[in-house]
């Protein structure tokens, strides 16, 4: 599965808390110029971030590849939700 060019740059990072808050040992962010500080912040910050709307489009997985696959699946599902003929 290829990552569409419009999603670049993609950041792939090992989760600070091993998936406790993130939902996977690795995460992938599309169009990433920076990693949100709260995503890798303190326990309270990470807990709040990973349960927020801001984190919904971030891929997570047990491996870097799994995180990218999850990222793609989230973006594909979101694209279908926003199609006029789909609703």
Question: Above 80 in pLDDT, residue 84?
Answer: no
- pLDDT, residue 15, reads 96
- DSSP conformation class of 27: E
Q: Which helix (H) or strand (E) holds 67?
A: helix 64-81
Number of separate domains in the chain: 1
The model's pLDDT over 3-59, given as tens digits with 9 standing for 90+, comes to 777 888 999 999 999 999 999 999 999 999 999 999 999 999 999 999 999 999 999
Global pTM reads 0.84
Q: Which SS3 state, helix, strand or coil, does residue 46 take?
A: helix
Domain of residue 62: give its range. 5-86
Give residues with Cβ within 8 angstroms of 38, minimum separation 6: 45, 46, 48, 49
Residue 35: the pLDDT is 95
């Amino acid at each position: 599965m290829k990552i569409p060019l419009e999603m670049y740059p993609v950041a792939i990072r090992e989760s600070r808390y091993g998936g406790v808050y993130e939902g996977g040992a690795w995460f992938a962010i599309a169009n990433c110029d920076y990693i949100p500080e709260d995503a890798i912040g303190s326990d309270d910050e990470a807990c709040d971030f990973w349960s927020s709307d801001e984190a919904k489009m971030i891929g997570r997985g047990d491996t870097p590849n799994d995180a990218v696959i999850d990222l793609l699946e989230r973006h594909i599902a979101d694209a279908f939700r926003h199609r006029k003929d789909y609703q």
